[in-house]
Amino acid sequence: MSILSIHSDEHFMKQALEEAKVAFEEGEIPVGAVVVANNKIIARAHNQVQRLNDVTAHAEMLAITAAQNFLGSKYLDNCTLYVTLEPCTMCGGALYWSQISKIVYGANDEKRGYRLMNPEIIHPKTEIKSGLLAKECGELVKSFFHQMRGNNS
Protein backbone atom coordinates (compact mmCIF):
# COMPACT_ATOMS: atom_id res chain seq x y z
CA MET A 1 0.00 0.00 0.00
CA SER A 2 1.46 3.36 -0.98
CA ILE A 3 1.11 6.28 1.37
CA LEU A 4 0.02 9.55 -0.19
CA SER A 5 2.25 12.43 0.86
CA ILE A 6 0.35 15.39 2.23
CA HIS A 7 2.59 17.55 0.07
CA SER A 8 1.98 15.75 -3.23
CA ASP A 9 0.19 17.12 -6.27
CA GLU A 10 -2.30 14.27 -5.93
CA HIS A 11 -3.11 15.20 -2.32
CA PHE A 12 -3.80 18.83 -3.24
CA MET A 13 -5.84 17.86 -6.30
CA LYS A 14 -8.00 15.67 -4.07
CA GLN A 15 -8.63 18.75 -1.94
CA ALA A 16 -9.71 20.64 -5.09
CA LEU A 17 -11.95 17.69 -5.96
CA GLU A 18 -13.63 18.01 -2.54
CA GLU A 19 -14.39 21.65 -3.39
CA ALA A 20 -15.83 20.55 -6.75
CA LYS A 21 -18.13 18.13 -4.92
CA VAL A 22 -19.43 21.02 -2.80
CA ALA A 23 -20.20 22.93 -6.02
CA PHE A 24 -22.02 19.86 -7.38
CA GLU A 25 -24.18 19.65 -4.25
CA GLU A 26 -24.99 23.37 -4.55
CA GLY A 27 -26.12 22.99 -8.17
CA GLU A 28 -23.03 24.69 -9.58
CA ILE A 29 -20.83 23.34 -12.36
CA PRO A 30 -18.52 21.19 -10.23
CA VAL A 31 -15.15 22.88 -10.42
CA GLY A 32 -12.99 23.21 -7.34
CA ALA A 33 -9.67 24.91 -6.72
CA VAL A 34 -7.06 25.28 -4.03
CA VAL A 35 -4.00 27.53 -3.93
CA VAL A 36 -0.91 26.20 -2.19
CA ALA A 37 2.11 28.09 -0.87
CA ASN A 38 4.95 26.41 1.01
CA ASN A 39 3.05 23.09 0.99
CA LYS A 40 0.08 24.69 2.76
CA ILE A 41 -3.39 25.39 1.36
CA ILE A 42 -3.89 29.14 1.62
CA ALA A 43 -7.15 29.36 -0.34
CA ARG A 44 -9.93 27.06 -1.43
CA ALA A 45 -12.93 27.77 -3.61
CA HIS A 46 -15.55 26.27 -5.87
CA ASN A 47 -17.76 27.67 -8.60
CA GLN A 48 -20.41 30.06 -7.29
CA VAL A 49 -21.73 31.53 -10.53
CA GLN A 50 -25.37 30.66 -9.77
CA ARG A 51 -25.22 31.49 -6.07
CA LEU A 52 -23.65 34.91 -6.59
CA ASN A 53 -25.36 35.57 -9.94
CA ASP A 54 -21.90 36.47 -11.24
CA VAL A 55 -20.39 35.00 -14.40
CA THR A 56 -16.90 35.73 -13.05
CA ALA A 57 -17.38 33.64 -9.89
CA HIS A 58 -15.38 30.70 -11.21
CA ALA A 59 -13.47 28.58 -8.69
CA GLU A 60 -10.13 29.89 -9.98
CA MET A 61 -11.14 33.55 -9.72
CA LEU A 62 -12.42 33.11 -6.16
CA ALA A 63 -9.31 31.14 -5.17
CA ILE A 64 -6.99 33.80 -6.66
CA THR A 65 -8.72 36.55 -4.68
CA ALA A 66 -8.68 34.54 -1.45
CA ALA A 67 -4.98 33.68 -1.87
CA GLN A 68 -4.06 37.29 -2.62
CA ASN A 69 -5.97 38.41 0.48
CA PHE A 70 -4.22 35.76 2.57
CA LEU A 71 -0.78 36.82 1.34
CA GLY A 72 -1.52 40.54 1.26
CA SER A 73 -0.12 40.64 -2.26
CA LYS A 74 -1.49 40.81 -5.77
CA TYR A 75 1.13 38.31 -6.95
CA LEU A 76 1.02 34.57 -6.45
CA ASP A 77 4.60 33.79 -7.38
CA ASN A 78 5.76 30.74 -5.45
CA CYS A 79 2.17 29.45 -5.39
CA THR A 80 0.46 26.57 -7.16
CA LEU A 81 -3.18 26.45 -8.25
CA TYR A 82 -4.82 23.03 -8.27
CA VAL A 83 -8.07 23.06 -10.22
CA THR A 84 -10.28 20.18 -11.32
CA LEU A 85 -11.02 21.52 -14.81
CA GLU A 86 -8.79 23.28 -17.31
CA PRO A 87 -9.11 27.04 -16.79
CA CYS A 88 -11.09 29.12 -19.28
CA THR A 89 -9.59 32.18 -20.98
CA MET A 90 -10.97 34.55 -18.32
CA CYS A 91 -9.36 32.56 -15.53
CA GLY A 92 -6.20 32.12 -17.60
CA GLY A 93 -5.92 35.89 -17.93
CA ALA A 94 -6.34 36.38 -14.19
CA LEU A 95 -3.73 33.69 -13.55
CA TYR A 96 -1.40 35.44 -15.99
CA TRP A 97 -1.71 38.73 -14.10
CA SER A 98 -1.32 37.00 -10.72
CA GLN A 99 2.05 35.64 -11.89
CA ILE A 100 1.23 32.24 -10.37
CA SER A 101 4.19 29.86 -10.56
CA LYS A 102 2.37 26.62 -11.36
CA ILE A 103 -1.06 25.43 -12.47
CA VAL A 104 -2.10 21.80 -12.05
CA TYR A 105 -5.44 20.84 -13.55
CA GLY A 106 -7.41 17.64 -13.82
CA ALA A 107 -9.76 17.26 -16.78
CA ASN A 108 -9.41 19.04 -20.10
CA ASP A 109 -12.24 21.37 -21.09
CA GLU A 110 -12.71 20.56 -24.75
CA LYS A 111 -15.33 23.30 -25.27
CA ARG A 112 -14.14 26.34 -23.31
CA GLY A 113 -10.64 25.60 -22.05
CA TYR A 114 -7.86 28.12 -22.56
CA ARG A 115 -5.91 25.71 -24.82
CA LEU A 116 -8.73 25.83 -27.38
CA MET A 117 -9.68 29.50 -26.99
CA ASN A 118 -6.31 31.17 -26.35
CA PRO A 119 -3.34 28.89 -25.64
CA GLU A 120 -1.01 31.87 -25.12
CA ILE A 121 -3.06 33.35 -22.26
CA ILE A 122 -1.03 31.60 -19.54
CA HIS A 123 2.17 33.42 -18.53
CA PRO A 124 5.18 31.82 -20.25
CA LYS A 125 6.96 31.38 -16.90
CA THR A 126 4.02 29.48 -15.39
CA GLU A 127 4.56 25.73 -15.21
CA ILE A 128 1.53 23.72 -16.36
CA LYS A 129 0.71 20.16 -15.38
CA SER A 130 -2.46 18.63 -16.81
CA GLY A 131 -4.36 15.39 -16.47
CA LEU A 132 -3.94 14.79 -12.73
CA LEU A 133 -6.92 12.74 -11.53
CA ALA A 134 -8.48 13.61 -14.89
CA LYS A 135 -10.90 10.69 -14.81
CA GLU A 136 -12.35 11.60 -11.39
CA CYS A 137 -12.52 15.30 -12.26
CA GLY A 138 -14.08 14.69 -15.66
CA GLU A 139 -16.63 12.17 -14.37
CA LEU A 140 -17.93 14.67 -11.83
CA VAL A 141 -18.55 17.27 -14.56
CA LYS A 142 -20.15 14.68 -16.87
CA SER A 143 -22.37 13.45 -14.04
CA PHE A 144 -23.48 17.01 -13.29
CA PHE A 145 -24.50 17.74 -16.88
CA HIS A 146 -26.15 14.33 -17.23
CA GLN A 147 -28.19 15.09 -14.10
CA MET A 148 -29.07 18.58 -15.39
CA ARG A 149 -30.25 17.21 -18.72
CA GLY A 150 -32.31 14.58 -16.90
CA ASN A 151 -33.99 17.20 -14.72
CA ASN A 152 -34.85 19.38 -17.70
CA SER A 153 -36.47 16.69 -19.85
Report how far residue 14's alpha carbon sits from residue 44's, in angstroms, rounded to the nearest whole number: 12
CB 137 within 8 A of CB 20: yes
Cα–Cα distance between 25 and 123 in angstroms, integer? 33
Q: Residue 43: exposed, middle, or buried by beta-carbon count in 10 A (0-12, 13-18, 19+)?
A: buried
Catalytic option among 19, 28, 60, 86: 60
Gap between the Cα atoms of 131 and 40, Å rounded: 22
Specify whether 25 is catalytic.
Answer: no
Distances from the Cα of 32 to the Cαs of 68, 73, 151, 152, in angstroms? 17, 22, 23, 24
Q: Which residues are catalytic?
A: 60
